[in-house]
Amino acid sequence: MQPYPPVRYHWTKQAVVVNNADEDSAVGGGWADSPAAFDAYRGPRQARTAQQNAIRWVDDWPVPGVTADLRQRIKIEFLRADAEYWKSPDTPGAHLTTMRQAFEGVAMVLLVAGVLTESLLRNEIPELVWDSAIAAGWWRSASETPQRIFSERLGHYWVWRDERTDWQRLFHDETELWRVRLPAVPAQAGVAADLGARLEAAAESAMISHTEQAARIGIGRSTYFEAKSGRGGKRARRRAEEYLRSLETTHKPD
C-alpha cells in the first residue's frame, strides 16, 4: 500500500491527492494508483482475439420460454452484430450502435416466438446485451473480477460507465418501439405482471440477486423466473406472495 498522501487517478476526472484512508475511501470507485491502469482500455482497439465471444452467455440466459431453437436464433443475431462491429471498431459510438442492433435482434426473435414481454425489454434483454458486449469486446471497460477502476456490477461483470452518459436511455427508444408491438395482454396477466414487478422491487430493495431471492423464497431459480414471468405453477406463485407479504410485515412501522 502506498504511504499517504498518494495521488489517485480517474477515468474522466482530474487526479486528486488523498491524505488518509477516510479520504481514500470517500473518493469512491473508478480511481487507480497510476494512470497506466487505464491504458489497456483506451486508444485503438487490438485485433479480435479468440477469447472474445459474443454468444458466451446466451445458453445460460435464465429466461423461461426461451427454447434451444430460440437461443440459436439469438446467437445468430449477436454474431451478425459482432461481424458489423469489427468492420470498423474504432468508429465513434460503434459499441453503442452494435449494442442497439443486438437488442433489436433479440427482441425480434422473442416477439416472433410469442414470448416477448415488457419485462424482458426493460430488464433481461439489456442485461444480456451488456454481458455479450463485454464478452465480445465491444465494451472494453470491464472485468470479470472486482477492481477499483470498475465500480459498478452489471450482469456477470464489473464495469466502468461514464456518469456523464444517461445509460438508462441506452435502449429506451428501442424498448418503446417494441413495446407497442406486443400483443394485447389478457386481464388475468395483470396479476402476473404485478408479481414480477414486486419481486423486482423486493430484490432491488434488499440489494440481492434474483437467484438469492429465489433461495429465500424456497424455490429453484428456474421456478422463480417462471413465477416472475407469470408462467409458473400456483405453488411457486403462492410462495412468492407469502414471501412478499412477510417483507411487508417486517418493514411495517410500529
In 3D space, the residue among 247, 226, 246, 245 whose CA is nearest the CA of residue 237 turns out to be 226
**198 in the same domain as 124:** no
Residue 116 counted as domain residue? yes
Residue 236 counted as domain residue? yes
At position 234, the amino acid (one-letter code) is K
pTM of the model: 0.67
Dihedral (Cα; 155, 157, 158, 162), 10-degree rounding: -70
Q: How many domains does the chain have?
A: 3
**241 in the same domain as 217:** yes
pLDDT in tens, the chain (254 residues): 567 889 999 998 999 999 998 998 888 889 999 999 999 888 888 788 888 999 999 999 999 889 999 999 999 999 999 999 999 999 999 999 999 999 999 999 998 888 899 999 999 999 999 999 999 999 999 999 988 899 899 999 999 998 878 888 999 999 999 998 886 544 444 455 578 878 887 887 778 888 889 999 999 888 888 788 776 678 888 899 899 888 766 544 44
Residues 6+ apart with CB under 8 A from 197: 119
- CA–CA gap between residue 159 and residue 119 (Å, rounded): 23
Residue 57 counted as domain residue? no
**218 in the same domain as 158:** no
**196 in the same domain as 171:** no
**37 in the same domain as 104:** no
Residue 60 counted as domain residue? no
**140 in the same domain as 122:** yes
**159 in the same domain as 81:** yes
**86 in the same domain as 155:** yes
Give 43-78 as a DSSP string. Answer: SSPPPP-TT--TTTTTTT---TT--HHHHHHHHHHH
**11 in the same domain as 92:** no
**166 in the same domain as 73:** yes
Residue 224 counted as domain residue? yes
Residue 121 counted as domain residue? yes
**174 in the same domain as 203:** no
pLDDT of residue 252: 47
CATH number of 242's domain = 1.10.260
- CA–CA gap between residue 222 and residue 61 (Å, rounded): 11
The three three-digit cell numbers of residue 52, written as one number: 472474445
Residue 206 counted as domain residue? yes
**142 in the same domain as 98:** yes
Enclosing H/E stretch for 148: none
Residues 6+ apart with CB under 8 A from 161: 141, 152, 154, 167
- CA–CA gap between residue 207 and residue 12 (Å, rounded): 28
- The domain of 29 spans 7-41
Residue 56 counted as domain residue? no
Phi, psi of 178 (to 5 degrees): -75, -30
